[in-house]
Amino acid sequence: MSELHKFIFDGLPVRGMLVRLTDGWKEVLARRTAASDAFPQPVRALMGEMAAAGVLMQANIKFNGALILQVFGDGPVKLAVAEVQPDLAFRVTAKVVGEVPDAARLEAMLNVHGQGRCAITLAPADTRDGQQPYQGVVALHGDRREPLQALSEVLEHYMLQSEQLDTRLILAANDEVAAGLLIQRLPVEGAGNLAGAARNEDDIGLNDAYNRIAMLAATLTSEELLTLDADTVLRRLFWEEPLRRFELLKGDSGPRFECSCSRQRVGGMLKGLGRDEIDGIVLEQGRVEIGCDFCGRKYHFDPVDVGELFTPVQDQPPGSAAIN
Ligand SMILES: [Zn+2]
C-alpha cells in the first residue's frame, strides 16, 4: 500500500518526508497498458517521479486546493502533469509526440532546444472568496545555463528560487514503485521546534545541521529508495540524528490514485467548444467520444446528449438531465 512518512529532527530546523507510491502507481500504468498505448520507459520514470514529488510538495504546504506539477517540453515529450489533491489523491499523465530515446533524461525528453519549463500551480478548491491560483515557473537549466538532467534538481532550484527554501530531493521510479525523499530546512522565523532560537543561524551552527542531514540524504541511491522499506531507509540514513516521526499516512488518509474527471466536467468542456464544433463531430462520427488522459475513462455523447448539453436546463422536459 502507498504510504507517506513525515518526520522532523528534534531541536534542529530540519524536516523531512518520505513517500512510496505502490498500488496507486501501478494502477496508473496498468490503465495505460490496458489502453495499449503504454508510455516509453523514460517517460514512465518521469511520471512516477512527478507523482512522488507532487505528493511531497502537496503534503508540505497547508493549502486547500490542488497542487499541479507540470513540465512543458520542446522535445518528444510535450507535457507531463501530476496533480495532487489536499487529501493526497493523485493522478498523472503525459503527452508524447515522437520517439523517446532509451535512457533519455530530462534534456533529451523535454529540453532539446532549451525551451523546457516546469510550472507549479496551486489551484484553490474554493474561489468564492476571490482566491486566485498561484503559479511559479522555472526553466530546466541551472544558474550557469547548464541543462538539468533530473527532475529533483529542477524542483530543488524552484524551492530555493521561489520559496527561499533549502531543499534536498531524491526521486526514483520504476514500474513497481514511485518514491521520494524530501529534506527541507525550516525557515527560522515561526519554526515551531526552535522556540525563539537566535536569528543568525550560521552563528549557532543550525546551517550545519541542515547541511549534514541533506548530505546524508544525498547518499541514498535510487536502488535503495526503490527497494528498501521506509523504516530501513530512515534508520540507515539518520541513525545518529534525533529523528522524530509522525503518524504514518496510508490507505484512505495516504497517497492514492484517484481521478477527478466526470461526465459533467467533460460536458462543460464540450460546451466551451461551441455547438457548431460539436455538431460537426457528431455529423462526421455519429457521436462524440472523449477519453480522460489521466484514467483512460471514455465519455460518449450521442446526438441526444449533445442536444441536451446545449439546451438551457429550464427548457428541458421534466425528468431529463443535460448532464449526469
Ligand atoms: Zn479520469
Asked if 219 and 168 count as a contact pair (C-beta separation under 8 A), the reply is no
How many angstroms is it from 149 CA to the middle of ligand 1?
30
> What is the band of 131 on the pLDDT scale with cuts at 50, 70, 90?
confident
State how far the Cα of 76 lies from the Cα of 98, in Å rounded to an integer: 5
Q: Residue 321: inside a domain, yes or no?
A: no
Domain boundary among 207, 224, 257: 257
Question: pTM of this prediction?
Answer: 0.88
> What is the band of 7 on the pLDDT scale with cuts at 50, 70, 90?
very high
- Indicate if the pLDDT at residue 34 is higher than 90: no
How many angstroms is it from 299 CA to the middle of ligand 1?
10
Same domain, 74 and 105: yes
For the domain that residue 273 is a member of, what is the CATH number? Answer: 3.90.1280.10
Average pLDDT rounded to a whole number, residues 184-194? 63
Average pLDDT rounded to a whole number, residues 146-174? 93
Q: How does pLDDT run across 309-324, given as a tens digit for each residue?
A: 888 776 666 655 544 4
How many angstroms is it from 163 CA to the middle of ligand 1?
31
127 grid coordinates = 474561489
Closest Cα partner for 295 from 65, 23, 30, 22? 30
| Predicted local confidence at residue 195, as pLDDT | 46
Which residues face 96 on adjacent strands? 77
How many angstroms is it from 203 CA to the middle of ligand 1?
52
207 grid coordinates = 546551517
Q: Residue 323: inside a domain, yes or no?
A: no
Same domain, 208 and 307: no
**Domain total of the chain:** 2
| Predicted local confidence at residue 322, as pLDDT | 46
Same domain, 306 and 225: no
Strand 256-257 and strand 89-96: pairing?
A: parallel
| Predicted local confidence at residue 157, as pLDDT | 93
- Indicate if the pLDDT at residue 8 is higher than 60: yes
Domain boundary among 241, 257, 273: 257
Domain boundary among 257, 285, 306: 257
Same domain, 209 and 242: yes
Find the helix packing angle between 263-273 and 275-285, rounded to 10°. 110
- Indicate if the pLDDT at residue 202 is higher than 80: no
Same domain, 89 and 10: yes
State how far the Cα of 272 lies from the Cα of 267, in Å rounded to an integer: 9
Same domain, 176 and 75: yes
Same domain, 64 and 210: yes
Domain that holds residue 108: 3-257
Which residue type occupies 52?
A: A
Give the single-character DSSP code of 147. Answer: B
Q: How does pLDDT run across 246-291, given as a tens digit for each residue?
A: 999 999 999 999 999 999 999 999 999 999 999 999 999 999 999 9
Q: Residue 320: inside a domain, yes or no?
A: no
For the domain that residue 129 is a member of, what is the CATH number? Answer: 3.55.30.10
- Indicate if the pLDDT at residue 71 is higher than 70: yes
How many angstroms is it from 136 CA to the middle of ligand 1?
25
How many angstroms is it from 92 CA to the middle of ligand 1?
10
256 grid coordinates = 492514492
Count of C-beta atoms within a 10 Å radius of residue 29:
18
142 grid coordinates = 541551472
Which residue type occupies 301?
A: F
| Predicted local confidence at residue 188, as pLDDT | 65
State how far the Cα of 270 lies from the Cα of 280, in Å rounded to an integer: 12
Q: Residue 18: inside a domain, yes or no?
A: yes
How many angstroms is it from 90 CA to the middle of ligand 1?
11
